[in-house]
């Protein structure tokens, strides 16, 4: 009886150096395209969400503001103190301008006092005494028309208090991504 011969196996051709280099080049090109697409997507995304520290935070309406001349109100989640003064409202960054401690409002003393090295500031964030090199930093505040969403007024570059309009329904918000450095003293 005749023996069946096994089917001939296909000969495996070794990959040439040129083919290998072509493959490697295409693979790195694909990887590069994916990386560029990923980076573009990340850059296109807003860095901070609304309502978080680093983004725009809506305090409420003019009617929700603390009374003029009352103790500053603490907004720990978005890291500022809201001070409503005779000249207008201020959103004061919670971090001491000396070495970055969190200072507190002390009612009995009627001023901000830093527990780390004792720097003191007025309710407007103005330097009084201590090792801090400058007054406290402030965030840009905005008054927004509740119907149209149009920005009616905004803190200027000097960081002066923002006058509050009579309209109790006007929206007050703070841009915690826009910080204005306090004035150096001495």
Which residues, in sequence order, are CB contacts of 36 under 8 Å at separation 6+? none
Q: Is 114 in the site for ligand FES (CB under 6 A)?
A: yes
- Member of 117, 133, 146, 163 binding ligand FES (CB under 6 A): 117
Place of tokens 């000249």: 87
User: What is the strand order of the sheet 127-129 is part of?
Assistant: 104-106, 111-113, 120-121, 127-129
Binding range to ligand FES, per CB under 6 A, among 1-9, 36-44, 95-103, 174-182: 95-103
CB of 61 to ligand FES, least distance (A): 33
Nearer to ligand FES, 30 or 133 (CB): 133
DSSP states of 77-92 as a string?
GGTEEEEE-SS-EEEE
CB of 167 to ligand FES, least distance (A): 38
Measured distance CA(15)–CA(122) in Å, rounded: 77
Interacting residues with ligand FES between 128 and 147 (CB under 6 A) = 130-132
Nearer to ligand FES, 71 or 116 (CB): 116
Q: Which residues bind ligand FES (CB under 6 A)?
A: 96, 98-101, 114, 116-119, 130-132
């Amino acid at each position: 009886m005749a023996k069946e011969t096994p089917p001939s196996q296909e000969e495996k051709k070794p990959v040439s150096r040129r083919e290998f280099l072509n493959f490697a080049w295409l693979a790195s090109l694909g990887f590069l395209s994916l990386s560029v697409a990923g980076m573009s997507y990340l850059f296109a995304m807003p860095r901070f969400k609304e309502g978080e520290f680093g983004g725009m935070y809506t305090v409420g309406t003019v009617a929700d503001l603390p009374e003029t001349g009352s103790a500053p109100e603490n907004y720990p989640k978005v890291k500022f103190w809201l001070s409503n003064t005779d000249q207008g409202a201020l959103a004061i960054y919670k971090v001491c301008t000396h070495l970055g401690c969190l200072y507190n409002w002390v009612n009995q003393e009627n001023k901000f006092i830093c527990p780390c090295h004792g720097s003191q500031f007025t309710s407007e964030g103005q330097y009084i005494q201590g090792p801090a090199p400058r007054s406290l930093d402030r965030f840009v505040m905005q008054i927004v028309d509740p119907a149209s969403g149009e920005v009616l007024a905004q803190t200027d570059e000097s960081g002066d208090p923002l006058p509050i309009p009579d309209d109790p329904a006007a929206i007050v918000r703070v841009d915690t991504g826009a910080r204005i450095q306090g004035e150096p003293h001495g």
